[in-house]
Amino acid sequence: MTDSLTPLLLAGEGYHTEFKQSLDKSFVEEACAFANSGGGRILLGVSDNGVIKGVDTGNVMRSRVQDTLGQIEPRLSCNIEAVGDVLVVKIPEGTEKPYGCSRGFFMRMGANSQKLTRNQIIEFFQKEGRIRFDELSHAKAVYPDDFDPDAFAHFLKLAGISPSIDRDTLLRNLDCLTADNRLTNVGVLFFARDIDFLLNHAIVGCVLYKGNDKVHILDKKDFKANLVDNIDNAMLFIQRHTKLRYKIEHLRREEIPDYPEVALREAVINAVCHRDYFDKRANVLIEVFADRVVITNPGGLPSGLPPEEFGTRSVARNPLIASLLHRIDYIEKIGTGINRIRQAVAEHGGTELDLRYNDFFTAIFRAKVAMEPGGEIGGSIGEQVSEQVSEQVSEQVARVLIACKTQPQSKAELLEAIGLANVYLNYKRHLVPLIEQGIIEMTIPDKPRSRLQKYHLTDKGRALLNKEGGDE
């Protein structure tokens, strides 16, 4: 029967195999290390160099082994099998990590087991989700000094929550404020005035490159606002710097983006929501190339989610962040984001999707170059303004100019003039570029969210209108 051990003996000790000549004090350490790592086998009765020495395989020895394994906390079910005069103790990878004993916490490092230091234990707890970043109170944040009431009011409006509810009570119910009036990390991410100062690794970086390589940067933005605004601004950045195709049928023009917006938005939200916030080495990064959009966040698959189950069930690394995003409908249903991305890509038909995960999670959207017959390539309104301001403006831009010709117009009126719904993303995509180009401006610039806000032509906008014959 010992022939079945030959391959293990010839391979020697390794990440999943340990030889022990006798049941000594280090046995429980090795068992803990396997449980905290990928599982493995301890061969009792085998010397370090792989020579079988043999041990008693009777019930008394088995009981001693079981008693020793009973020292592990939490309890772990292991299998003990006699193969000739060798006891093979199979230690599974634990599902309730970390596992410890009276001698400490241990991890398998190559062919050896190593006792974890204090910092390694903290890191291990974080990695295994026993300590959740979003639940912790923030050491630097001072409430209400660092609190942004405008961000909070915007959240309440999106969530449909009455602003008449006592603010502190509501923040505590949302797990954003502790009982002793300290902002939690989720409270900082959603409602802090200066996220760059308090959590500078939580900013979202966006880069536009010329061509398909990381050589020439054409545009770069670091978004440092609250988490909701960062998502919206990142989407606006992508929309400005990716193209639209126009499909013309029966005298009507249909806009077809190179990338499905639903999929891009889900990927951005996924990156911001599920990133590893304990990892301060990197930010969420969005890179736009001529042929692809790459969205990357630190933190691969969360602990407890096997690769084969990726996309089929949800293990939230930051459950409070996910819960707040769900309240404002940025997440339709927790755990469905990846499937929504895949479905949107499939329905779009013009994009290829590549999902990768190791220490980082990366979503790559590649545009297919094929163009439908009768179509034409166009750009976002931001591109139209920058490229055509000295030539002939697009029909959409002209409609905005004409709408503002005689009197200021509201956001809803301007979007209606260009045939779009009065929703936030349409405003960000089609009107904000005109404001940034200095073609239209707010009538109440110091209160951008005022319900009385309207927009009128600047001198530059009026000159452009005159050039197009709008004042004839």
DSSP 75-87: ----EEEEETTEE
pLDDT of residue 250: 47
Instruction: Specify whether the CB–CB gap between 322 and 243 falls below 8 A.
Output: no
What pLDDT was estimated at residue 458? 92
| CATH tag, 380-467 | 1.10.10.10
Q: Where are the domains of the chain?
A: 2-127, 133-194, 202-367, 380-467
Burial (CB < 10 A; 0-12, 13-18, 19+), residue 317, is: buried
The reported pLDDT for the residue numbered 386 is 42
Query: What secondary structure letter does DSSP report for 3?
Result: G
Is 471 a residue whose pLDDT tops 70?
A: no
Show the tokens assigned to 96: 């309730």
Lowest mean per-residue pLDDT among 2-11, 173-182, 240-249, 344-353: 240-249
For range 153-161, the mean pLDDT: 93
Cα separation, 8 vs 6, in Å, equals 5
Residues 117-144: b if buried by 16+ CB within 10 A, e if exposed: eeeebeebbbbbbeebbbeeebeebebe
Q: What's the pLDDT tens digit per position in 297-310?
A: 998 776 656 666 66
Please report the pLDDT score of residue 253 as a whole number: 54
- Regarding the domain delimited by 2-127, which CATH topology (the fold level of the hierarchy) does it fall under? 3.30.950
Q: Yes or no: say if 240 and 383 are a contact pair by the CB < 8 Å rule.
A: yes
Q: What is the pTM of this model?
A: 0.59
Cβ pair 340, 346 in contact under 8 A: no
Span 351-362, mean pLDDT? Answer: 91
Residue 379 has pLDDT above 70, yes or no: no
Peptide bond into 74 cis (omega under 30): yes
- Lookup: tokens for 377: 């390539």
User: Is the domain 202-367 a CATH 3.30.70.100 member?
Assistant: no
Q: Tell me, what's the pLDDT at 427?
A: 86
User: If pLDDT is split at 50, 70 and 90, which confidence band does 384 have?
Assistant: very low
Please state which of the ranges 169-173, 227-231, 384-388, 391-395 shows the lowest mean pLDDT.
Answer: 384-388
Q: Give residue-wise pLDDT tens across range 103-141.
A: 899 988 777 888 888 777 777 776 666 678 898 899 999
State the average pLDDT over residues 94-102.
Answer: 87
- The pLDDT score that the predictor gives to residue 309 is 66
Residue 252, pLDDT above cutoff 80? no
pLDDT confidence tier of residue 469, bands split at 50, 70 and 90: low
Amino acid at site 49: N
| Sequence-distant (≥ 6) Cβ neighbours of residue 252 within 8 angstroms | none
- CB of 388 closer than 8 Å to CB of 464: no
Examine the pLDDT at 41 and tell me if it is beyond 90. yes
What is the pLDDT, as a whole number, of residue 304? 57
Question: Stretch 142-149: mean pLDDT, rounded?
Answer: 96
pLDDT of res. 433: 87
Residues 370 and 291: their CA atoms lie apart, in Å, by 12
> What's the CA gap between 461 and 283, in Å, rounded?
38
Per-residue pLDDT at 381: 42
The mean predicted confidence, pLDDT, of the chain is: 85
- Integer Cα distance of 362 and 211 in angstroms: 20
Quick one: how far is CA 197 from the chain centroid?
21
The residue with tokens 């939580």 is 202
Tokens of 356: 């990768």
Q: How far apart are CA 306 and CA 439, in angstroms?
A: 52
pLDDT at 243: 79
**Per-residue pLDDT tens over the stretch 161-191:** 999 989 999 999 898 999 899 999 999 999 9
So what's the pLDDT on residue 437?
Answer: 86
Q: 259-311: per-residue pLDDT in tens?
A: 999 999 999 999 999 999 988 889 999 999 999 999 999 987 766 566 666 66
Q: How far is CA 352 from the centre of its chain?
A: 20
Residue 354 has pLDDT above 90, yes or no: yes
Q: Give the amino acid at 369.
A: V
Which of 5-9, 352-356, 427-431 is modeled with the greatest confidence? Answer: 352-356
Q: Which of 11-25, 146-160, 166-180, 371-385 has the lowest mean pLDDT?
A: 371-385
Nearest residue to 39 (alpha-carbon basis) of 139, 107, 100: 107
Report the percentage of the chain scoring pLDDT > 90: 53
pLDDT (0 to 100) of residue 382: 42
Predicted pLDDT at 398 = 82
